[in-house]
Structure 1
Amino acid sequence: MQQDSDVIFTIEGAVATITLNRRTRHNALTTSMLEDIERSVASVERNDEVRVLKFTSNGQRFFCSGADINEWGDIDPQRMGTRFIRDGNRVFRRIAELDKPTIAVLSGSAIGGGFELALACDFRYASVDARIGFPEAAVGAIPGWMGCARLSELVGATRTRELILLGELVGAVTAAQWGIVNEALAADELAARVDAVCATLQKRSRTSLSVGKRLIRMMESGEHEYAHELAASVCKASPDASEGVAAFREKRHANFS
């Protein structure tokens, strides 16, 4: 995608990056942007060289200000559900189900649909200046892209009610205390911390990361015992398992294929 596009997709080594680049609208998401994001995620799915996917943004104030109200504000209720919401849910589900680790880098505020995009990722690292939340109640809407469900799974019903019903934003430090983001860092420390996480993930077993993500999804669906049995069997059958055991016994770092 072109550098002047609203969504920029790049790959450096084993790390792919999707950058929201619609600064004039605080990176508000449109249907076209969702389509670009989905194409980028599909490319990551097919590329065996990519180990980690990051979501970043251009512009310091906002990671993403949500779904563009100019796009959804005037559409009829039928198309709101069957097109706009359905399209977003499909894209965010694809992000959540990607077998490779995903990281949302919140250098600015993540609001509404932007917060939902971050919740679809495995990790969230935020600048201390970022603010996070669901203000939809103030405009007669709700978080439509599975934000209610993902937030509830993350922090439970009490905090979810607080964020969704009050519609007030919280700072990144509070979000870290609540377990919504992994860490809140100074702006000049954020990129280095995310780079370190990416480097660590690249050293881990591809099989373990892939199966671990699927295991977590199965646990969320309630199939806990069966999920653990299946996951343990799949990992044990992989070459990574043999290499991991051998490396442990030989007191060396594992060389995962």
Structure 2
Amino acid sequence: MDYKNIIVEIGGGILQITINRPSKLNALNKETIAELHDAFADAKDDDEAKVVILTGSGEKAFVAGADISEFSDFSPEEGKQLAAEGQQKLFNYVANFPKPVIAAINGFALGGGLELAMAAHFRIASDNAKMGLPEVSLGVIPGYGGTQRLPQLVGKGRAMEMIMTAGMVDANQALQYHLVNHVTEQAELLDFAEKLAEKIMKNSPVAITSAIRAINANYEAGVNGYDIEIEEFGRCFGTEDFEEGTSAFLNKRKAEFPGK
């Protein structure tokens, strides 16, 4: 599929989605959100795509925020609809994606950009990265899951401070806050992400999907994550991946998972 605002490349089981609006510092507009959804939807059904790496083009920004010009004159009802549609179409879709999603944060990840990175399953950052949720400086709050995912990652107190001050943290602070898993030099960012993806791809994709569901369940209101873990654990026993994994272990050989 041809896209206007993103670049999609695949090789060796790794699908890289690059947000490509450098003149706007890769800011998210409605069109880009729709294209990202389509790219993820295609990746979901693509057997060749095992892991997704999400990044931004250029050296300045992952995503510098949402395109404010699109909603500066919205009514309260339109604002509510904007957040609901965006969360359903992209942010929650990424968070619950059945294949691993790694956000490779190069440069600024602000507002909707940080919310998108937080929706990924985990994050790595270049050493020049800066992250923040500056929405209150515009008279609004994060609307794409930021008030929920940031406290889950950094704790309530730090999240309150970051959101209330509208300030940014650098890559090393983000690492200390557990907002990102790793920090690397910018030139090495994508290579590092690919090495992590390669480690992931050595394991059972079916089991990884189950793990994503079980981990996410802990953050869903009214859902007992332990019950979901038990259910997914049992489900694994009926898969070809389990048969292959246990057989390989018992026979002291490398597993070749069929992904079924």
- TM bracket (short chain): over 0.9
Note the C-alpha offset of 1:192.
Answer: 1.6
- In the other structure, the counterpart of 2:214 is 215
Measure how far apart 1:204 and its partner are: 1.1
Q: Secondary structure at the match of 2:124?
A: strand
After superposing on structure 2, the runs of 4+ consecutive aligned residues of structure 1 that deviate more than 4 Å are none
Structure 1 residues 63-78: aligned runs within 5 Å: 63-78=62-77
- What's the counterpart of residue 234 of structure 1? 235
Aligned to 2:201: 202
Equivalent residue for 1:224?
A: 225
**Unpaired segments of 5 or more residues in structure 2?**
none
Q: Where does residue 51 of structure 1 map in the other structure?
A: 50
How much has 1:181 moved relative to structure 2? 0.4
Aligned to 1:130: 129
* 3-state SS, counterpart of residue 141 of structure 1: coil
CA shift, 1:168, in A, is: 0.5
Counterpart check, 1:80 vs 2:71: no
Q: Which piece of structure 1 moves more, 32-41 or 152-161? A: 152-161
Number of matched pairs: 255
Equivalent AA in structure 2 for residue 89 of structure 1: Q
Q: Describe the SS at the equivalent of 1:81.
A: helix
1:103 aligned residue:
102
Give the Cα separation in 2 of the matches to 1:58 and 1:110: 12
Q: Separation in 1 of the partners of 2:51 and 2:226?
A: 28
Counterpart mapping for 1:122-201 below 5 A = 122-201=121-200
Q: Tell me the TM-score normalized by structure 1.
A: 0.95
| Secondary structure of 1:220's aligned partner | coil
2:134–2:166 Cα contact (<8 Å) kept: yes
Contact 2:14 2:194 in 1 (8 A): no
Deviation at 1:237, TM superposition (A): 1.6
CA-based RMSD of the aligned residues comes to 1.3
**One-letter identity of the residue aligned with 1:74:** D
Name the CA distance, whole Å, in 1 between partners of 2:92 and 2:14.
20
1:33 shift after superposition: 0.6
The equivalent of 1:9 in structure 2 is 8
Cα deviation, 1:202-245, whole Å, max 9, x if unaligned, reads 11101111100011122222413211210110112212112212
> Alpha-carbon deviations, 1:123-159, whole Å to 9, x = none?
2110011100111111111110011101112222111
State the shift of 1:16 in Å. 1.4
Give the counterpart letter for 1:14 in structure 2.
Answer: G
